[in-house]
Amino acid sequence: THFGFKQVPVDSKEHLVGNVFSSVASNYDIMNDVMSLGVHRLWKDHFIKKLDVGARPGGEPLEFLDVAGGTGDIAFGLLDNALSKYSDNKSKIIVADINQDMLNEGKKRFLNTKFAYESNSRIEFLQQNGQVLDKIPDNSKDVYTIAFGIRNFTDIQAGLNAAYRVLKPGGIFACLEFSKVNNPILDSIYSNYSFTFLPLMGQLIANDRESYQYLVESIKKFPSQDKFASMIREAGFYVPGVGYENLSFGIAAIHIGVKL
Ligand code: SAM
């Protein structure tokens, strides 16, 4: 395609992922809307409200980390929730993403948020591979979020282990990701939709069929809700209950883990 997709060696998933997101950074909202029929906005709102993080009045400010945070949706939402519900105007967030184009898009969008007017910026955009997080110290974060990012990792378990490492004891891991539809009939409708309609939409909207094809395949390959919950346990987290909440019949799911 015109994004040089084909020049990437096929075995180099990280480069491929880099290219996919460079090519979509500016078309990003459209892509998400197409992928989820617009529902990703509701899922993200629900994710943020469910977590409901924020320093309680008089409490210590919190340290948030949003990995694969791309364009900042989750980060701005977390800061907003903390401010409006707890008058928390002190907690800080790092948005970490492997792709500088996505981070640049996030920085641009940040300028349109109310947080851009604060004298001490509480948000930092940091290029980092979520599987490594080498610039994030051990036991330093209160909340780790990742939305629609972890399925792109070459080594998901390494990503979970890194999440565990950087969280403080008592810290919370929360992941929003496409998952497995739990009803066979709906699943077959959704599979047809995603394998035929989505690449076509990608071609029409972004002139980029391959990137959308890749995204569909990455969703298909991602582990089931139960398997992913067991990987979160494997990383060392305490996983309450079944460990997840299905959204829209499992098209997406929220997984939670606590570092004890
Ligand atoms: N969290 C944002 C949201 O929900 O709108 C962005 C999600 S976007 C679909 C996926 C993001 O994951 C991209 O910004 C991509 O660059 C990032 N990503 C992919 N692999 C990554 C890795 N190994 N480490 C960090 N970020 C990664």
Structure token digits, residue 172: 């919370």
Total of domains in the chain: 1
71 carries a ligand binding annotation: yes
Ligand 1 site: residues with CB under 6 angstroms? 17, 21, 67-71, 73-74, 97-99, 102, 129-131, 147-149, 152-153
Residue-number span of the structural domain to which 104 is assigned: 5-258
- The reported pLDDT for the residue numbered 4 is 34
- The reported pLDDT for the residue numbered 12 is 54
212 alpha carbon to ligand 1 midpoint, in Å? 14
- The reported pLDDT for the residue numbered 17 is 64
23 alpha carbon to ligand 1 midpoint, in Å? 13
Structure token digits, residue 91: 């907690």
- The reported pLDDT for the residue numbered 24 is 54
- Check which CATH number belongs to the domain holding 240 and give it: 3.40.50.150
- The reported pLDDT for the residue numbered 2 is 35
Given ligand 1 and candidates 46, 99, 103, 135, which is best to mutate, with the most ligand atoms within 8 Å of its CB?
A: 99
- The reported pLDDT for the residue numbered 6 is 38
171 carries a ligand binding annotation: no
70 alpha carbon to ligand 1 midpoint, in Å? 5
Given ligand 1 and candidates 23, 93, 94, 98, which is best to mutate, with the most ligand atoms within 8 Å of its CB?
A: 98
pTM of the model: 0.91
The atom number, within ligand 1, closest to the CA of 131 reads 23
- The pLDDT profile of the chain, 260 residues, written as one tens digit per residue, is 333 333 444 445 666 666 666 655 666 677 777 778 789 999 999 999 999 999 998 999 999 999 999 889 999 999 999 999 999 999 999 999 999 999 999 999 999 999 999 999 999 999 999 999 999 999 999 999 999 999 999 999 999 999 999 999 999 999 999 999 999 999 999 999 888 888 888 888 878 888 888 888 999 999 999 999 999 999 999 999 999 999 999 999 999 999 99
Given ligand 1 and candidates 3, 152, 154, which is best to mutate, with the most ligand atoms within 8 Å of its CB?
A: 152
143 beta partners: 64, 172
